[in-house]
């Protein structure tokens, strides 16, 4: 006899929802009994709500000073509860649902442990946009990608010949649900760490993919030895391209 309960599908909107949302993801959203979402902008939220009247945000679990681990735990509990209650649930996440998205992976793991169906559909990620907008091909020299706080605190080995991508640099060192002014103080320390690895003349790029059609991405270039450094925006990615 099949286990009681529903199913879970985790999808992503891509970065620019009007053109990146795949037909497969759209069909799952439209056909779900319950749609739960975590998205980066109101346009994406309106798009998802327009596809399924049950859609509701999971943003209420976040708090400016609430530890993100507790936030993720609460989000997973809500998702799994809906599935165990018998609903066919679609969780919609910003970008690629498997890229630095703890709740999606953990929810799938928990649902499968109960003997129920759970899957993830691929989507356009911020890395895909970065390759296109910065003209980067990771093939010739390789690519190393880390979450910025992980890199800053644990300092894993790097290959200076490869492109380095540090995601979520706008939340550098933060444990809560919102960035604080301390990020601006930590960023020069991160740049100094990189300068010791890559040298004074290496160029860094603070990059933000555009979530809106017709709007150019944010690309801020600087040298690692500059005295006046830019401050990363909340959604910024730091990239050091191969020499």
Tell me, yes or no, if 94 is annotated catalytic.
yes
What kind of fold does domain 126-240 have according to CATH?
3.30.950
Tell me, yes or no, if 72 is annotated catalytic.
yes
Q: What is the pLDDT of residue 2?
A: 44
| H/E stretch holding 127 | helix 126-134
Domain with CATH 3.30.950.10 in the chain: 126-240
Domain with CATH 3.40.1010.10 in the chain: 7-120
Catalytic member of 94, 110, 195, 207? 94
Q: What's the CA angle centered on 99, arms 229 and 83, to 5 degrees?
A: 140
Q: What is the pLDDT of residue 103?
A: 96
Q: What is the pLDDT of residue 1?
A: 38
95 alpha-carbon distance from chain centroid: 6
CA distance 116 to 6: 7
Indicate the SS3 state at residue 81: helix
Tell me, yes or no, if 146 is annotated catalytic.
no
Residues 32/37/39/45 CA torsion (nearest 10 deg): 60
Closest CA to 169 of 227, 131, 130, 216: 130
| Domain boundaries 7-120, corresponding CATH code | 3.40.1010.10
Question: pLDDT digit of tens for each residue in the chain (243 aa)?
Answer: 345 789 999 999 999 999 999 999 999 999 999 999 999 889 999 999 999 999 999 999 998 889 989 999 999 999 999 999 999 999 999 999 999 889 999 999 999 999 999 999 999 999 999 999 999 999 999 999 999 999 999 999 999 999 999 999 999 999 888 889 999 999 999 999 999 999 888 999 999 999 988 899 999 999 999 999 999 999 999 999 887
């Amino acid at each position: 006899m099949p286990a009681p309960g529903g199913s879970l599908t985790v999808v992503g909107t891509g970065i620019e929802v009007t053109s990146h949302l795949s037909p497969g993801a759209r069909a799952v959203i439209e056909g779900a009994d319950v749609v739960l979402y975590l998205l980066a902008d109101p346009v994406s939220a309106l798009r998802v709500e327009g596809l399924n009247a049950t859609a509701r945000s999971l943003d209420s679990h976040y708090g400016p000073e609430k530890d993100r681990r507790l936030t993720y735990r609460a989000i997973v509990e809500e998702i799994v509860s809906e599935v165990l209650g018998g609903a066919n649930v679609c969780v919609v996440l910003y970008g690629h649902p498997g890229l630095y998205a703890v709740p999606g992976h953990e929810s799938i793991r928990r649902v499968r442990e109960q003997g129920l169906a759970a899957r993830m559909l691929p989507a356009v990620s911020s890395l895909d946009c970065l390759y296109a907008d910065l003209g980067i091909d990771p093939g010739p020299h390789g690519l190393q990608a880390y979450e910025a706080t992980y890199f800053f605190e644990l300092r894993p080995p790097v290959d200076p010949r490869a492109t380095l991508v540090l995601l979520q640099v706008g939340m550098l060192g933060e444990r809560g649900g919102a960035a604080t002014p301390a990020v601006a103080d930590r960023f020069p320390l991160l740049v100094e760490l990189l300068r010791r690895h890559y040298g004074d003349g290496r160029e860094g790029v603070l990059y933000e993919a555009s979530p809106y059609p017709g709007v150019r991405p944010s690309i801020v270039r600087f040298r690692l030895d500059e005295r006046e450094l830019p401050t990363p925006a909340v959604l910024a990615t730091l990239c050091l391209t191969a020499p």
